[in-house]
Structure 1
């Protein structure tokens, strides 16, 4: 399919603004747009949102490097993520260390950064919002 683009759309169940700020600090994310439910040009159907969600994020677009992601608070509190990971490919071990340390703050490390047969540095973690990440140093050299 020509011109097909798949973009991650993350639902943060009431913590989207906090998550965006965390990714801005941890990964240098840039927020391109943010719209709250109260700013929607059409009213939200009655009973669709929990009380107090009017000020929550209806839709946001943000970039990490050249990658575009989208996010929302969704229509319910809490989030459940399983069955996928976001993978960050970096050029240096220093970048891997920096991103891994930042993302693991308040999260849980599944596999500490270490040398693998495919990379001089690879690790896996779940951040404080329940998003699973893999950090991988990509080299053009063979690793032994």
Structure 2
């Protein structure tokens, strides 16, 4: 069965970012560097950059990321957010608290007009997130 997974691009912060996301979501993190694949970068100083990282959380989230060597064009992610939603308020609050640490809250994690809870933030690595607690059926 196909899956849809966010793949985050960084200039040189993929290792720090993916390790941070592991501290937020838990799970298993694998990191492959350019050094593991001969001839993948021009600059030997960039061999330890992340060619591919994958975090698989206990909930089944799959988040991927990579660095972009200096010889390739790079634009910081814009116009897209990673969204995490569900019914487990304690888990979502925990994700919110950890992701917002060192980041910028755009909209506090609070009760919106449609019910439940919702918030938006940009984390310390410049990635935009939306966290949403589903509204209870009684509130609809």
The gaps in structure 1 that reach 5 residues or longer are none
- Describe the shift of the 1:21–1:113 C-alpha distance in structure 2 as closer, same or farther (beyond 3 A): same
1:107, CA displacement in angstroms?
0.5
Structure 1's 20 and 111: CA in aligned 2 closer, same or farther, altered over 3 A? same
CA distance in 1, matches of 2:13, 2:74: 8
TM-score w.r.t. the length of structure 2 is 0.85
Partner of 1:58: 51
Query: For 1:8, which of 6, 9, 33 is the aligned residue?
Result: 6
Alpha-carbon deviation of 1:75? 1.7
8 Å CA contact retained: 2:34, 2:41: no
**Alignment size in residue pairs:** 137
Matches within 5 A, 1:1-144: 3-31=1-29, 33-40=30-37, 42-44=38-40, 46=42, 49=43, 52-64=45-57, 65-76=59-70, 80-143=76-139
SS of alignment partner, residue 3 of structure 2: coil
Alpha-carbon RMSD across the aligned residues, in angstroms, is 2.2
Q: Deviations over 1:51-100 (max 9, x none)?
A: 62111111112223212222111223976111110110132332222111
Distance (whole Å) between structure 1 residues aligned to residue 36 and residue 2 of structure 2: 30
Secondary structure of 1:83 counterpart: coil
